[in-house]
A and B are shown apart, each in its own frame.
Chain A
Amino acid sequence: MKATTPRSGTRRVATVVTALAATVALGAGCVGGGGQAPEETSTKGAVSKDTKGTVRLLMEGVPDSDIVKELVPEFTKEYPGIKVEIQTLTYDQIRDKLVASFQAPKPTYDLVVVDNPWMYDFAKAGFLEPLEGRVDNTDGYAYDDFAEPLRSINEVDGHTYGVPFYNYALGLVYRKDLFAAEGIEPPKTLTELQAAAAKLTTAKRAGIAMQPQRGYKVFEEWGNFLFAEGGRIHDNSGNVTLDTPEGRKALSAYIAMYEKSAPKNSLNWAFDEAQRAVSSDKAAMMVSYNWMLPALNKKGSGKFAGEFGLAPFPGGHQVLGSWSWSIPANSATSDASWAFVSWLTSKQGEKQRVLAGGAPVRTSVLSDAEVREQGGAEYYDTVRELLENSSPLSEGANGEEMIQAVGTELNSAVAGKKSPAAALKAADDEAKKIRDE
């Protein structure tokens, strides 16, 4: 092989250096311009029916978004001048798209849906329009009708930055036939839950499908255990309180149940896997979102459709998630956006959405005769119970980071890499540091 001269060697090194610099620099992140929008509160309530404009809307690709799409023609009948264009993406993609649109001089979206851990940061950053003026001046809107825990997620520094779209309150989904066969009732305490899971565990079926995946999932599930033990994620002043006797007890109970009653090799399981296990007779219970129940029980959805029941989580206080409608501060058609949101989230709009299969957020819809007739009174009573007594994973700044940090420590404990005490101490320290940043 031909030997290279020092000169060509140097040139080659220079080439590689340049190429690498380019590659890493592109990965290191380049950030564009765009101005911080001023925070303005519009007092405009009901929007005139002859308003014109196109509302570009970004949503997550989930069944609730499909329901909204189906309702758009109804809205357009009332507001013929407003066109609603809905784009759907996966959960992982939407936040990045939203942040880019919020900062652009010409936004990509005029109306958005915001997940609860993002609300505080987006509001503080000036990305969203305060809505209390619009809410107060829209006749018959009845904002107090939305479940209180959902409303409080959208309140930042005394302003309302979103109105609830649908809820993610967790409950215990269980197989009624298996419970009846064993003669057991839905558990009221963690001890009863552990006993039920152990009793229902057979060679072919796990007692409970758990979701210890790092990040959101394990935190969401463990949060319910924490509440059941009488602990809280935040104290009354909003400070994180994870490293407590209740927290340690809850984590030990969680790990014990995972080891004894969860499917083997499920350390990385999340929602999909647990759902599949329960619907295919591989597990008898799971902690899941309340609105999963109609889907599991829908005729033709599986062999065990109709056999699933929903109960509040033992202890009666559950972890809550929510999505809310928000209008970006740089929205090109904020009035038309409010027209659509206020129409869809009005008492009547909410009823239509829930009848089509959406997850309820207004208290009035839970007692509506037509809704109860269709979905089952027992189910809506349980949902009301869940919504009334629930708390989100995150309150305050840097929610996403706090959830990831705590969820990583919890997952380490379930994986046996850290003791519950060490994991909670680290989780507590990190969460406090992240909050203060």
Chain B
Amino acid sequence: MSFRYRMLLPLVALFLAVVGYPLVNSFYLSLTDYKITDRANLSVVGGRQYVDALTDQGFWGAFGNTAVFVLVAVTVELVVGLALALALQRQRRLRNLTRGLLLAPMFVTPIAVGLLFRFLLNSQLGVVPAVLGSLGVSYDFFGSGKALLTIALIDAWQWTPFMVLLLLAGLESLPSAPFEAARVDGASAWYTFRRVTLPMLRPVVAVAVLIRGLDALKVFEYVYATTRGGPGTETQTLQYYVYQTGIQFFRMGEASAMGYLVLAVVLVAVIVLFLRIDRQRAA
């Protein structure tokens, strides 16, 4: 074996142990009716768990909730993130301080953020309902029809800085010539933003949305810390549903099948998006 292949061996070994084994094992489990509390009667059931998951209303409900969550969270993060990035680009003084402060939420662990907001928004102890109350406004952040939006906004609080980071880097790497030309031609700020900045920034926006979208799909901690999937099943997201099925209800086989279904959907989305991005870049 040549030297360069031998150099690859540690990576391959690590990859097989950390990625390969769980991947293969969970696929095997997804083909069985494995239940943690009933391991003696394990039988291979083929694709039944997949059919069960695909015909399970709870799974599709969780799918829908997750899709709404990702859509709302990533849209808010993109819009606010872009506005902040444009503002920061123009900032002249104390740039590093502002950027440092702005990035702080990203470095807090999500479960802590979930707990933080659980108390901030608590109707008895929370500062937010207290302030709203003094203005005569009564709003139940975790009430029916509002809880999913609240969780999406918690995500936006934590991850908008990430969007800012990527978009700001993108903005600062744009060539200055098109902007100077627009200025010379007398284009308004809005026109310049719409017709010059946005088209040139599009590849960065696409990557930023993709990364944030994939990350937001994994939402679990905020749900766990605040609503536990309620009211009803309104905030039951995919990861929470898989956690409940596998860990809380012991049905590991079914949870593995659901995990693989999510993987399939995500892979298709990622491949399609990446191909499109690559095509746009090449064009």
Question: What residues of chain A have their CB less than 8 Å away from a CB belonging to chain B?
Answer: 1, 3-4, 6, 9, 12-13, 16-18, 20-31, 36, 96, 99, 103, 121-122, 124-127, 213-215, 263-268, 273, 276-277, 280, 282, 398, 400-401, 404, 408-409, 411-412, 414-418
Contacts and interface: CB of A to CB of B under 8 A. Distances in A.
A215 B236 CA distance: 12
Contacts of A265: 123, 129, 138-140, 143
Interface in B209-234: 214, 218, 226-234
A423 to B, nearest CB: 9
Contacts of B34: 31
Given A20-B263, A20-B267, A408 B229 contact: yes
Contacts of B249: 398, 400-401, 404
Contacts of B274: 9, 12-13, 16
Main secondary structure of the interface of A (DSSP, over half): helix
B73 interface: no
Interface of B: 18-19, 21-23, 25-26, 29-30, 34, 36-40, 122-125, 129, 138-140, 142-144, 147, 203, 214, 218, 226-234, 239, 242, 244, 246-250, 252, 255-256, 258-260, 262-263, 266-267, 270-271, 274-275, 278, 281-282
Given A3-B282, A31-B25, A122 B37 contact: yes
A36 B138 CA distance: 54
B39 A36 contact: yes
Contacts of B233: 408, 412
Output the residue of A25, A103, A264 with the most chain B CB within 10 A: A25
Contact of A411 (B124, B232, B281): B232
Contacts of B38: 124-125
B18 A268 contact: no
A248 to B, nearest CB: 18
Nearest to B226: A268
B19 A22 contact: yes
B246 A29 contact: yes
Contact of A30 (B21, B39, B232): B21
15 contacts: A9-B274, A9-B282, A25-B19, A26-B22, A31-B36, A103-B36, A214-B229, A215-B228, A215-B230, A264-B140, A265-B123, A267-B143, A268-B142, A276-B124, A415-B143
